[in-house]
Structure 1
Amino acid sequence: MDSAEILDDYSRKLLAELQRDARASFADLGRRIGLSASATAERLRRMEDAGIIRGYSVDVDREALGLPILAMVRMTCDGPRYHPFLKFVKELPEVQECHHVTGGDAFFLQVTAASIAELERVIERLLPYGIPTTSIVLSSPVARRAFELSRSRG
């Protein structure tokens, strides 16, 4: 089924509510969007089947886990080091996200660390794969934003 067929006004409202509170019950979600609990559950199932909803997650406070350092690392990575880097970075627990990007850099990594010394060790471990350029995050005015679903796309 085409995702455009699934994403009517009710489904968009449902996605918006889930982004606010993914733990809400079908009954509560249904009340918020104007559908029964069973109709809400069926819409969720269809969106999961279509791959619109890929999963449900928990937003964990990294600082509460003892990881106060958040850094963005831009990485250059030439041809022969590309595949070894991909394998390495997938196994590096400090890397929370890794994006392959266009432009002068090849990758953009989001890295967490317990200290500056730990961040330095991570950067040193990246050196065999290319040139890392690191920026430490001071604050995040927009840390995570829900997808805007009410406006039309296209």
Structure 2
Amino acid sequence: MAARQPRIAAALLALVLAALVHLTPGLADGRAQVLPVDPAPLVAATSAGERSFTVEVADDVGERSAGLMFREAMADDHGMLFVFERTQPVSFWMKNTPMPLDLIFVAEDGTVRAVRRGEPMSEAVISAGEPVRFVLELKAGTAAKMGIARGTVLRHPVIAGVAGNPG
């Protein structure tokens, strides 16, 4: 039974995403979703200093499901911050995403819990292995280049608003 659970979860995820693609403008015809850039930068406090990123905030089910699908390019200092309603186990995949990505799994207090690499067009399930509240997607290799690793603290008004921490 335990061996079937990941396959069942992946199948359910595929069904939900397929339904949302048809309900999300632009995705059914293969166009990338582009959300407005949040006016506040997301800041990563690394051992080498602060690193600043512009982010699009995906905070509803349609935006999170579409994510960076069909996006072919993104600036090195740009990303997408996924915001979930509560701390929970979350899983991603890279189907319909031609660009390799770093997926940075973040706790409610802004602390990075895991950094994973997403391979283009893959249906492999990517998760932190523990519940998180946020996921930041950046171009592949950016996390390592900028010194973002487990324990790094991310600051952004959205994170501060959820956690009650200073932004």
- Give the TM-score of the pair, scaled to structure 2: 0.20
Q: Which has the higher strand share?
A: 2
- Give the TM-score of the pair, scaled to structure 1: 0.21
Q: Which has the larger radius of gyration?
A: 1
